[in-house]
Amino acid sequence: MELVRVNNLCKTFKKHAVPAVDGVSFSVFKGEVLGLVGESGCGKTTLAKLILRLAGADKGSVYYKGMDLLGISHGEMRGMRKSLQIIFQDPYASLDPRMRIGSVIEEVFDIHKDIPSAERKSKTIELLESVGLGEAYLARMPSELSGGERQRVGIARALATDPEFIICDEPVSSLDISIQAQILNLLIELQKKKNLTYLFISHDLGVIGSICDRVMVMQSGRIVEMEKCEDVFKNPKEDYTKTLLKAVFL
């Protein structure tokens, strides 16, 4: 079943003549992990922001279960954000350094008001345990955590609203190689357990190949190739894709 459909999405920033996102169209199917790969600056994060309306598109449409997210009010979109979440690239920047970990997650309940006050602590502990942490982390500050632990908190926060679709925006690029594998395994485990759908963004085709069903290759704001992961690795069609693959096997 088609969960998300993006049609002819475009965005040009005033200070740049070249479009950041240039006529991008694709579908994401329920339960799949769709990869988006390209070098830094090609428009991947801008596309993610446009889909979630964290930035305004110049034209195009984004459908979630048939509803055009770009055509609804801000209030309606606020309600939709429970189903549509994002895991950010930088676990250091995405957590408020002044808030304890328990409060970081409970803040989501303050915004969406779905969890009664009496149940918030137990729900927060449950979320932390689901990402391999636990109750001992409730009182800790972000500065006391490793990069991998902070990213686990970021994942727990994204899961707090029981979303159906999550954009993973370079979620392991700032982590050590050994920690990357742990976080990727966690994301795969959660995706299967909760039947989540991911748009997984990375500049590394090796990472994409380890978690994704299909992959889109983005160059200069455009999708230049879209295939099953195994087909891209075995028979890439675009020279740009071949260049990205060479970086994996160096």
The answer to whether residues 208 and 214 touch, using CB atoms and an 8 Å cutoff, is: no
CA-closest candidate to residue 2, choices 29, 21, 22? 29
3-state secondary structure of 122: helix
- What sign does the dihedral 187-169-246-29 (CA atoms) show? positive
CA 162 to chain centre: 15
Q: Is the model's pTM score more than 0.85?
A: yes
**H-type alpha helices, the chain:** 44-51, 74-80, 101-112, 117-130, 147-159, 177-194, 205-211, 229-234, 239-248
Closest of 54, 46, 59, 61 to residue 77, by C-alpha: 54
User: What pLDDT shows up at residue 117?
Assistant: 79
- Locate 156 and state its tokens: 């727990």
CA angle centred on 50, ends 44 and 53, rounded to 5° = 145
90: which residues sit within 8 A by CB, 6+ positions away? 174
Q: How far apart are CA 48 and CA 202, in angstroms?
A: 12
Query: How much is the CA Rg of the chain, to the nearest whole Å?
Result: 18
Residue listed under structure tokens 């579908």: 27
Rounded to an integer, what distance in angstroms lies between the CA atom of residue 170 and that of residue 167?
9
Helix axis angle for 101-112 and 147-159, nearest 10°, is 20
Q: What is the pLDDT, as a whole number, of residue 120?
A: 87
Rounded CA gap, 71 and 63, in Å? 9
**Tens of pLDDT, residues 185-228:** 999 999 999 999 999 999 999 999 999 999 999 999 999 999 99
- Between the alpha carbon of residue 221 and those of residues 22, 41, 243, the distances in Å are 5, 9, 17
CB environment 228-244: b (16+ within 10 A), e (fewer): ebeebbeebeeebbeeb
pLDDT at site 226: 97
- List the chain residues with pLDDT less than 50: none
Residues 185 and 132 sit within 8 Å (Cβ to Cβ):
no
Q: Which residues on neighbouring strands pair with residue 214, listed in sequence order?
A: 34, 228
